[in-house]
Amino acid sequence: MRHRYSAIALFLSVLLALFANIFYTNHAQRQTEQKFCGVMRIFDAPTAPPTTKRAKEIQDKFHQLRKGLSC
């Protein structure tokens, strides 16, 4: 009986550590994305519109990336 409780306690502690790890990883990822969003907003809204085809493609890619990150 005592071994059963030990096994259950071990299983629950591993499960709790797993959920804590997943929660922290998601939290850290969201914080990193928000910092990155600040930089993306600068590149997505230049002061002058792009004049060359290449510059327009780059701005479009930055815009797609920003939207993909839900900025």
User: Over the stretch 10-43, which tens digit does the pLDDT of each residue have?
Assistant: 999 999 999 999 999 999 998 888 888 888 877 7
What's the predicted TM-score (pTM) here? 0.58
Q: Return the amino acid letter for 22.
A: I
Q: What letter would DSSP give residue 71? A: -
Domain residue limits at 36: 2-68
State the total domains in the chain: 1
Rounded distance, CA 43 to CA 24, Å? Answer: 29
Rounded distance, CA 49 to CA 28, Å? Answer: 34
The tokens describing 34, both together, are 């928000």
